[in-house]
Amino acid sequence: MPKNLSDQLLHDLGERIVHGELEPGHVLPKVETLSEMRGVSRTVVREALKGLSARRLVVSATRTGTIVQPPTEWLWWDPDIIAWASSADDPRLFLLQLSEVRLAMEPAAVRLAALNATEEDIAQMEHAYLNLEKAAEDNGSWAEADAEFHASILEGSHNQLMKSLVQTLHIGLLQSRHKTIEVLKQNPESRKASALYMHRDVLDAIRNRDPDAAYDRMRELLHSVVALIEEYGAQRHGS
């Protein structure tokens, strides 16, 4: 949540840009105008604009003013941009792209976990899986429990760069999980049983120190996530 007035203005403008309400090429009002419109000081406006510029959402030109940049210029790994993209009315495209990133990274991470995880790491994965089983009846807890399970695998990979990257994506991944839950609610017993089965297969491959099987099981699991996101989007658009 925004902490102060400049953060609030940054959040509002950033969200409007990422959601497409302020399109590329749009020139933001001058500092003085924004200050009057929002009832805040010019210092607050300048700080907010600095935040947008740091995320490459806007660029300042001496004669033109502050101009909204196209998405190709945005600093997509910024947690705020990820959060704003995830909260759009229709985040399907972003969530599918996020899943593609997961497909590129998590199977590699689980392969490493099968090779590198200590007994303590595996015990933590088993604990996380049990929490996932317990959360099967509680949609509100499922997303957090699923995140905990995947985080425990990343810990077991002992690759700090992978772990750091996924932490950056945390908000987007949580939003993705909440969207897939909406699909899992339909015929929840069979769908969640299937999801649990795939998670257990991943865990079993790590326990068995089988990196190839772990890699394959994680890819199967993530492809099922992609299918849920696509189904979620199709239902929203009535197709």
pLDDT at residue 169, as a whole number: 86
Is pLDDT larger for residue 6 or for residue 189?
6
Pair (61, 103) in one structural domain: no
Mean pLDDT of 154-171: 90
Pair (66, 168) in one structural domain: no
Contacts of 81 (CB under 8 A, 6+ apart): 14, 18, 55, 57, 74, 75
Structural domain of 102: 79-236
pLDDT at residue 185, as a whole number: 65
Distant-in-sequence contacts of 114-119, Cβ < 8 A, 24+ apart: 114/205, 114/206, 114/208, 114/209, 114/210, 114/211, 114/213, 114/214, 115/209, 115/211, 116/156, 116/157, 116/158, 117/156, 117/157, 117/158, 117/206, 118/156
Pair (126, 178) in one structural domain: yes
* pLDDT at residue 20 tops 90: yes
Pair (130, 229) in one structural domain: yes
* pLDDT at residue 238 tops 70: no
pLDDT confidence bin for 159, thresholds 50/70/90: very high
Q: What is the mean pLDDT of the chain?
A: 90
Is pLDDT larger for residue 175 or for residue 67?
67
Q: Report the sign of the C-alpha dihedral through residues 33, 39, 43, 44, in that order.
A: negative
pLDDT at residue 120, as a whole number: 98
Q: Which of 71, 97, 114 is the last residue of a domain?
A: 71
For 99, the token pair is 């899943």
User: Tell me, what DSSP letter sits at residue 56?
Assistant: T
Pair (62, 161) in one structural domain: no
* pLDDT at residue 188 tops 60: no
Q: How far is it, in rounded angstroms, from Cα 116 to Cα 156?
A: 7
Q: What is the pLDDT of residues 120-149, one digit of tens each?
A: 999 999 999 999 999 887 777 888 999 999
pLDDT confidence bin for 32, thresholds 50/70/90: very high
Contact 78, 65 (CB under 8 A): no
Pair (59, 165) in one structural domain: no
Give the angle subtended at the CA of 206 by the CAs of 201 and 209, to the nearest 5°: 125
For position 149, which CATH number holds? 1.20.120.530
Q: Report the sign of the C-alpha dihedral through residues 97, 153, 174, 183, in that order.
A: positive
Pair (140, 181) in one structural domain: yes
Number of domains in the chain: 2
Pair (99, 156) in one structural domain: yes
Pair (131, 20) in one structural domain: no
